[in-house]
Amino acid sequence: MGAITVTPIAGALGAEIGGIDLSLPLQAEDISAMRAALLQHLVIFFRDQKLTSEQYMAFAKAFGEPVEYPLINGIDGFPFITEIVKREDDKANFGGIWHADTTYLECPPMGSILYLTEVPPDGGGDTLFANMYRAYETLSEPIKKMLTGLTALHDSSKAHYYRVKATDRDDIKFPNAEHPIVRTHPVTGKQGLYVNRGFTLRIPQLRRNESDALLEMLYRHIETPEFQCRFKWQPNSVAFWDNRCAQHHAMFDYYPHRRYGHRVTVCGDKPFHRA
């Protein structure tokens, strides 16, 4: 194993990590270097990684405690690993909207790790990522002042609408939570926007029409191309993003081809805002 390399892929965020085989036991200095790269670049990528489920879990555990993904069962023997599969006949796109993962939880995950082993044969299926630090920093001062102290309600039923009327699981629950619109990163101390089209419902401190208008403005701002990077998947690639300060969007431009992989999420903490 050679020295780890960190190569940025865009000005806003994202870096490819080289010089490491994730199937081997990780050394403390390698974990430290990858953690630093994640904090600096918000999302890090690895190529040509062939991982068993055990090795995949060992990599995730080096950065925190894996947690089960709500409303989706894990694979056999590994409850923390969920399938990410798009079959040839699937026409719906899971994840095809800007979002951070499971913001409807009281303690959303610190990060998510996606490992794809099968990708469309002719390209397509890229994932876009966006920097929520930059989204906040580029707002005008009057808007920043207005957002101070505001919270947003996040609800899983917004994204899992197809399960709301499900009858095959009578005990199904749809978590929801209230978080500050401006979130302070617990490690870097930086401020970032923390609302997303996927799960955010409304701002309880405002009237409905005011909430809708403000959220739509923030969503469009978050989707500014200059805040983004784009990752082109290859077989056996890994993406690891900081769910506290980055959003992502899965492109669906490869029908009728197949895309397959696994995802693990790593435990996080309750969002807060510290001025």
Edge-to-edge strand ranges of the sheet holding 246-250: 228-231, 127-131, 246-250
Is 101 in the active site?
yes
Q: Exactly one of 41, 99, 183, 262 is catalytic; which is it?
A: 99
Q: Exactly one of 160, 183, 244, 263 is catalytic; which is it?
A: 263
Is 274 in the active site?
no
Q: Exactly one of 101, 134, 183, 249 is catalytic; which is it?
A: 101
Is 48 in the active site?
no
Q: Exactly one of 185, 197, 244, 248 is catalytic; which is it?
A: 248
Is 99 in the active site?
yes
User: Which residues belong to the active site?
Assistant: 99, 101, 248, 263
